[in-house]
Amino acid sequence: MSAQEFAPGLVIQHFVPPLRLGDFKAIAFDMDSTLISIECIDEIADAVGKKAEVAAITEAATRGEITDFKDSLRRRVALLKGVPAESLQEVYDQRLKINPGAPELINAAKAAGLQTLLVSGGFTFFADRVRERLGMHEAHSNTLEIEGGLLTGRVLGDIVDGEAKKQHLLRLCERIGCDPRQSIAVGDGANDLLMMGVAGLSVAYHAKPKVREQAMVAINEGGLDRVLALMA
């Protein structure tokens, strides 16, 4: 079934609506440029005058032009060496905005009994706060190393990349006893394609072309809660 415009700025393919939200058991979200309006790493880099350099790598990674996400993240984080840790709070307070429709979609999903998962190639400082702010069940992301009140330019532990996002969603499904096809995955970049590929419903939100082409739903205009227009 070829892509069709279900409503202005809302494109669907490979299924016929309506669906029932209650038939799904879990919903996973990317964070940067999906649940929130910014790419946090680009805004942190602004504190040391390196936003353009970091943002260029971020853009290439999300478009799928850089295939090794872990390497691209290490390169970007290395450029943050020496950034004061309080800059993270400034980015959160002054620049981070929740995207339109995110609270409505998450609240509807929870009301229908779905588990809500945030999986991000971004950072725990933001992901944990966004998870709490939106009342989500769990979050997984990357931890920036801080020493003496400054970022070291390194990430602690295993990096959450596209494969890790997929695995977190599969583990959640296994834990709650559902088939991955009973899950929804929402994202905007190439790093989200693996988890979108195992979900029963994949949603691209104001996404890169490669992601829009592969997703079952593409929200190109309006908020995240436009998914609900596809539900009975």
**Distance, CA of 99 to CA of 224 (rounded, Å):** 8
pLDDT attached to residue 2 = 85
Domain that holds residue 218: 4-230
How many other C-beta atoms are found inside a 10 Å radius of the C-beta of residue 7?
12
Q: Do 84 and 149 touch, CB atoms closer than 8 A?
A: yes
Q: Which of 87, 109, 72 is nearest to 40 (CA)?
A: 87
The three-state secondary structure class of 160 is: coil
Q: Do 190 and 173 touch, CB atoms closer than 8 A?
A: no
pLDDT attached to residue 47 = 87
Instruction: Report the CATH number that the domain containing residue 26 is assigned in CATH.
Output: 3.40.50.1000
First to last CA, the chain: 21
pLDDT attached to residue 148 = 98
CA-to-CA dists, residue 219 to 1, 59, 77, angstroms: 18, 19, 30
pLDDT attached to residue 48 = 87
Give pLDDT < 50 ranges for the chain. none
pLDDT digit string (tens) for 25-82? 999 999 999 999 999 999 999 988 999 999 999 999 999 999 899 999 999 999 999 9
The three-state secondary structure class of 4 is: strand
Catalytic residues: 30, 32
Give this prediction's pTM: 0.97
Q: Which of 159, 187, 182 is nearest to 172 (CA)?
A: 182
Tally of structural domains, the chain: 1
